[in-house]
Amino acid sequence: MRAIEIIKPGAPDVLTPCERPMPTLKAGEVLIKVHAAGVNRPDVLQRTGNYPVPPGASDIPGLEVAGEIVDGDLAGSPFKRGDMVCALVQGGGYAEYCAAPVVQCLPVPKGFSAIEAASLPETFFTVYSNVFGRARLADGETLLVQGGTSGIGVTAIQIATALGHRVFATAGTDDKCRACESLGAERGINYRTEDFSEVVKSLTDGKGANVIIDMVAGDYVNREINCLADDGRIVIIALLGGASGSINFGEVLRRRLVITGSTLRPRPISFKQDIAQQLQQRIWPLLEAGKIKPVIFKTFSLDQAAQAHTLMETSTHVGKIMLQVV
| Domain end marker among 261, 286, 311 | 261
**So what's the pLDDT on residue 155?**
98
Residue 211 and residue 165 share a domain: yes
Cα(126)–Cα(192) distance, integer angstroms: 26
Q: Are 39 and 2 in contact (CB under 8 A)?
A: no
Residue 256 and residue 142 share a domain: yes
Assign 123 to helix, strand or coil.
helix
**So what's the pLDDT on residue 39?**
98
> What letter does residue 7 receive in the DSSP assignment?
S
**So what's the pLDDT on residue 102?**
98
Residue 31 and residue 112 share a domain: yes
**Residue-number span of the structural domain to which 222 is assigned:** 124-261
Tens digit of pLDDT for each residue in 242-289?
A: 999 999 999 999 999 999 999 999 999 999 999 999 999 999 999 999
**Looking at residues 304-320, what average pLDDT do you find?**
97
Q: Residue 36's pLDDT band (boundaries 50, 70, 90)?
A: very high
Long-range own/partner contacts, residues 253-257 (CB < 8 A, 24 or more apart): 255/228, 255/230, 255/231, 256/230, 256/231, 257/225, 257/228, 257/230, 257/231, 257/232, 257/233
Residue 86 φ/ψ, nearest 5 degrees:
-120, 155
Tens digit of pLDDT for each residue in 56-92?
A: 999 999 999 999 999 999 999 999 999 999 999 999 9
| Domain end marker among 240, 261, 282 | 261
**So what's the pLDDT on residue 49?**
97
**Looking at residues 197-201, what average pLDDT do you find?**
98
Cα(251)–Cα(99) distance, integer angstroms: 46
> What letter does residue 320 receive in the DSSP assignment?
E
**So what's the pLDDT on residue 89?**
98
- Number of compact structural domains in the chain: 2
